Amino acid sequence: MTQAEIISERFPHKVSAVFNDSGRARDAVNALAGKAGFDSDQIELVKPHDRELSSKVERETGAIFSTILRSHAVLGIVGAVAGLILAGVLVGAGFDWATTTPGWVFGVFAVVGGAIGMLGGGLVSIRPDHERVITEAEDASEHGRWTVVVHARDEDEKHRADELLEHFSKTVAESL
């Protein structure tokens, strides 16, 4: 199962870099568009005390809701299937407690497995991997610094953005 099957966002990866002045930040934006080939809709420049910070860092709010639904459904089903497989192994192994009431064993393991899968769906939904990027941008904006945020479609774009931004800034953060 790939990340794309669970996460509905067009740009699931984020990379940010913090700058002390606008000139250096704008140079990084130009390099991302020119040298690295990013589209202008993938690059955001967060200014000091920017009122649009949250929409620049987390743009896909509609896709986040879709991710919540998809991750809970997919991981819930995966968990239930894993529970059924485990129940089958236990019943097949001949454990007395499992062979006397196999229907209950399959039912309980499917429900518990599904619940564990849905807990995993909740973890995916809150996107804890974005926290560092968000925190760095908020902190920089509050302290009068500039942040460049790149919204990457895949791992390759994320790595390209990360490598390029490291040439411009010492403070680079990325999501998973």
Burial status of residue 116 (CB atoms within 10 A of its CB: 0-12, 13-18, 19 or more): middle
- Residue boundaries of the structural domains of the chain: 9-62+141-174
The answer to whether residues 75 and 170 touch, using CB atoms and an 8 Å cutoff, is no
Q: What is the pLDDT of residue 2?
A: 55
Rounded distance between C-alpha atoms, residue 59 and residue 62, angstroms: 9
Say which DSSP state 114 is in.
Answer: H
β partners of residue 151: 14
The answer to whether residues 71 and 125 touch, using CB atoms and an 8 Å cutoff, is yes
Q: What is the pLDDT of residue 37?
A: 83
CATH architecture of 9-62+141-174: 2-Layer Sandwich (3.30)
Residues of the chain with pLDDT under 50: none
